[in-house]
Amino acid sequence: MKNLKTLNSMTLYELRLLLRSKWLLNFMILLLLMAALFYFYGLKSLDADPSEVKYGLSSISSSIDTGSIDPSFFGLEEMASDEPGDSNNGKAGYDRAIAMLMNLSLWVLPIICLILGTNAIVADKEDGRLALYHTYQMPFFYYLLSKFTALCISMLVALGISYGLFGMVIAFTTDGAQFNFFTTFFLLNIFLIIIFSALSVLVGSISMTRMQGLSYALCVWSFLVIGYEFIIFSIIDWIPYAQKLNSMLVLVLSNPIESLRVWSITKLNADYIFGPEYLLIHKWGQDGSLTNYVILSSVLMIVISLVLANFTIKKRRERIG
């Protein structure tokens, strides 16, 4: 009970520091702009050009003679929506505008969390607060957990204010399908904030100066957002064909950017863009397995990041003495 009270006090102190930060105010304004783009550019594009998801011969008006071969053998049949009573009614919430806004979230939110979390820990190192904390004989994991929790809460507050404002507008002015699209985007941002807040704690524990922390944060962001795809393309050809699909899914789940992208596209009823080789994703989306796998991989990333951060900062502190 005493340890929990101490952790709570530390988290409240870190939260007060973050809420007074001008960086957080600027990020909240940026999130408000992103929410406005989603409403005025993303959802309005769906109203202007709605798309119904059809598959195979059902999307062709003319009659096609397939002879004695059953078209369903090649997957040429209409695929039902994920749920019989789904409010999406087969309408795909994925077009060029939605894709651009999704990529904007996948690019911007990670670097925001990495910079803010890394600077919070590096600032304590440079100002001597971390050395002072070492004299209290408290576990370093309490310090890291308080940083992680405070960063998550502050970013979620900024996200709730910005997206919550437009969420109320969407709830009263649009239909249920569009509100489901907004919910998917909101959950995507929540996942990104929590995962990359944990990664920022790891980057901050490794860094010694603000410039070094910024460099490491940009390296991690560049690798996960840009470089990881090229690695997948390079090694997938070396994997035997029988294990290629499962290996691809494991590689996707190993990167939070890619796993959340696939999950979001599935929730937007647009998993058909993956092609016939990725019908397993459609199956996982129907029975909820994909959501479970994404949550499990996200939790593992968070735990591993915090454990490695604790190990790194403790070992470095022991070397310094």
Q: Give the predicted TM-score (pTM) of the model.
A: 0.80
Domain map (residue ranges) of the chain: 2-51+93-320, 54-89
| Statement: residue 83 has pLDDT above 70 | no
CA nearest 44: which of 88, 89, 90, 93?
93
pLDDT score, position 201? 94
pLDDT score, position 73? 55
Q: How far from 27 is each of 41, 113, 224, 293, CA to CA, in Å?
A: 20, 10, 21, 30
CA nearest 167: which of 189, 152, 150?
189
pLDDT score, position 88? 47
pLDDT score, position 223? 93
Q: End-to-end CA distance of the chain, in Å?
A: 30
| pLDDT tens, residue by residue, 261-286 | 888 888 877 766 666 556 666 666 66
Q: Which of 53-57, 87-91, 219-223 has the highest mean pLDDT?
A: 219-223
More confident position, 79 or 313: 313
| pLDDT tens, residue by residue, 27-69 | 888 888 888 877 777 666 655 555 544 444 444 444 555 555 5
Assign 82 a pLDDT band (cuts: 50, 70, 90).
very low
